[in-house]
A and B are shown apart, each in its own frame.
Chain A
Amino acid sequence: MVFVNLDKNVIVSGESVFFKAYLVNSNTISPDSHSRILYFQITDPVTKNNLVFRSDINKNGTSYGEIPIPDTLSTGFYLLTAYTNYMRNFNPGQVYTTRILVINQARNIPDELNTIVLTKPSDLTFKTSDPLISKSNNIDISLDRKIYGTREKVTIGLKNLADTLSISDVSITVTRKNPFDDPGSFETNICSYLPYIANKIQAGKDQSKLNPGTIPCKYPKEDKGYIVSGNMIDKTSKKPISNAFVLLSVPDSIANLKYAVTDSLGKFCFLLEKKYNNRQLILQPKDSPVVVENTTISLEEKAIDQDKLTLQNVILDSAGSDFLITCQQTAMIHKIYASKIPKDTLGKEKPIQEYCFFGKPDEIIRPSEFLEMPNLEDIVANIVRNAKYKVTEDHSSILVLDELSHQFWEGNNALVLLNTIPVFDYGVLNSLGSRQIQRIELKTKRMYYGDLEIYGIISIFTKENYIPALELENQVVSFPNEVLVPVKSNQFPDYSLAGQKNSKIPDFRQTLYWDPEFEIKNRTKNTIEFYTSDLKTSYDIVIQGITQNGIPLSARTTIEVR
């Protein structure tokens, strides 16, 4: 099961919402990292359109970062769900759901809003014997005072009352109090949410023990990384294509090729390690252009259905309307100056060393070292002695000389990579001449890459990072493998620095502080410090977290800025 703490639940479009997610084992209520990928889905309750975001889960079963809210979203309540791929088998049982209110930055505030009615559990009883588990406010928050001036320092002391033995990992937000917030809501309090869901899951497991075979297994656990899956079908007959090779490549300086074989339903899947994060990936069938032209690849979306949403129309009162308008205005001011505020990018991981999938080339040819030639046919014929390239109007072939038999593999084309992307329409390569080609790498061996038989490799790198025209429409799928970056927060101003406090730059931050991973240690003083902004209003301090021993922690209090 998963619980999510957000830095705020009212967001102006074009801004980001920061999150901290806790993946928790439902048996032990302790941190769980068996799934490595977490999904966030923002659903428009009216159109049912979904936006899906992906985040990596750390080894300690948590994830943090920021979800960008597109500036195209209109004002209204949206459903935010968080889930792992495996949890999709148990929707809605294990899927975390909460409401967020998005305010469109440019449009007028409407008079009424559609709100989503979340079903509140009628019975919040827990099996656990520890009375502290069900208690909220099991973190003591000590404030130096309750009322502060603008740009003034706030010091908060924290003490874990529930578990004095283990270290606690909490996320802390200090954000503007909003009239739409329900402090007693079940899904925004980890102390109510986790034990209740755990009991519900356990009850479900007991039920499935009585009826074995009922545990669904449609969506596998992503315990090693992100699984991208899809289907390959015949364009004309719409029938699945089975036993076909699907190739996955990345435009890069190092050739990195993966393949999958489709099953009887035309389904394929790839496991993507972290090195593929936030890179453009290309999927294509491995075959001749004739066959390729008649195939379509489609990718599976990791979205979940939210068809059964109950909506309620709420007429905005003046307090609500004023709140939304000030949010809009302050966000606009903030946006003007936001570019000057750097992000706290702690948690960046070391770059992963990459290796070429086919090892070292047997031969490297640089056409610039020879007389200039206008096309690839001339280049191969004159300076690439271990290859043969033939282009005719209706048929093209490219062969490599086997270094063992010293013969060309007639009838078996080499695997051609253009800037590390496989190309099967060899005719398009002929336009490349000495001026375009930087180098040609050759592998003159018949190779096996798993079940993929390769009759030599010709890897062409061009001087400009030219990606082969993926004009073959649907047969080639190119997608950005986007993953949320583990950003901790925006950097907060420090008004203790000389000149900062009296600076003319307006500071209308609505979130005064956000820390997604604060450790409350025992026997040490746990304090946080931050500065108030120019916005005079009430702020909620909300803390949610979990101890190493699996005890949920939460606390909430309010401060005033006048």
Chain B
Amino acid sequence: MIKSVLILCLVFSLSVRLMGQQSYGCENKALTKSLEEKLLGYAVGQPLDEKQFFSDDWSEAIVTLADGRIITGELLRYNGFLEKFIWLKKGTNQQIILNDELVVRVDLNSGKSTGTSNFERIKVKRWYDTDSVFVFLEVLTEGPVSLYAERKIADSQSSNEYFSDYLLYIKINNNPLSAIKPRKRDLLAALGTYKDEGKLALKKAKLSISKESDLIRAIKYLNKTIDFKK
């Protein structure tokens, strides 16, 4: 009996101390949340078809806006069908299409196993579009030579099935993006004035390119070995 009274007293004194601490402004989570920047998006009536997403899981995101503001901690997933980021309202099933007019970059933290996926909102001219459009491109490697992937999910109108596809884009220094296929000759052509140096470097390292991962490895190697500033 005495023991339980003592425990109760201890719990009470601890809770009084904690309450006391909460009265201070900088300890107050509700107020701290108010200071955080907010995302803007458009509500979706029904949850979107899971097949429209590349990933099964929602990831904590860092969203950078054009005016430099950064929004952290919200759950996002890239929808390849809509080519939009979908934001999941925490504690609900409400899915929201992220208003990307002001977004310049999204970094998704997919957990320890898969790491971080980075996306930039860049204007590209696709072969099937008449005008250049802003799209989210996954940053595959960054440097003087950067490689981006536009990941898409389309549906087959006849069978209602979804299939995925991608387009790769290369950027050298601050030149405009150009589409590229994972082939050595495409990479060398894209290198322009650095073509000969690139050819020599790839030959020396015995690097062949037949798929996306080969192209990433080759570009990372070229960024290390060639001085693209000259």
Contact = CB atoms under 8 A, between A and B. Distances in A.
B68 to A, nearest CB: 9
B43 interface: yes
Contact of A448 (B30, B45, B96): B96
B41 A448 contact: yes
Given A353-B67, A359-B101, A450 B28 contact: no
A352 B34 CA distance: 23
B163 interface: no
B43 A217 contact: no
A359 B102 contact: yes
A490 B25 CA distance: 40
Contacts of A263: 28, 30-31
B95 to A, nearest CB: 10
B97 to A, nearest CB: 9
Nearest to A403: B42
Contacts of A405: 45
A218 B24 contact: yes
Nearest to B26: A220
A262 B33 CA distance: 11
Contacts of B34: 259-261, 268-270
Interface in B1-40: 17, 21, 23-28, 30-31, 33-36, 38-40
Contacts of B99: 358-359, 447
A458 to B, nearest CB: 16
Contacts of A352: 67
Given A227-B35, A263-B31, A269-B31, A216 B24 contact: yes
B49 to A, nearest CB: 16
A449 B24 contact: no
Interface in A212-227: 213, 216-221, 224, 227
23 contacts: A218-B25, A218-B26, A219-B26, A224-B35, A229-B25, A261-B30, A263-B31, A267-B25, A269-B34, A270-B34, A270-B35, A352-B67, A353-B66, A355-B65, A359-B40, A359-B99, A359-B101, A446-B43, A448-B89, A448-B94, A449-B38, A449-B40, A451-B38
Interface string B82-98: 00000101000010100
Contacts of A323: none
Given A224-B35, A352-B67, 9 more contacts: A217-B25, A217-B27, A218-B24, A219-B26, A220-B26, A260-B31, A271-B35, A359-B101, A448-B39
A434 B30 CA distance: 44
A225 to B, nearest CB: 9
A404 interface: yes
A448 B40 contact: yes
B28 A358 contact: no
B4 to A, nearest CB: 27
A183 to B, nearest CB: 40
B67 A355 contact: yes
A404 B34 CA distance: 30
Contacts of B96: 448
A445 interface: yes
Nearest to A227: B35
Contact of B66 (A267, A273, A355): A355
A173 B39 CA distance: 48
B72 to A, nearest CB: 13
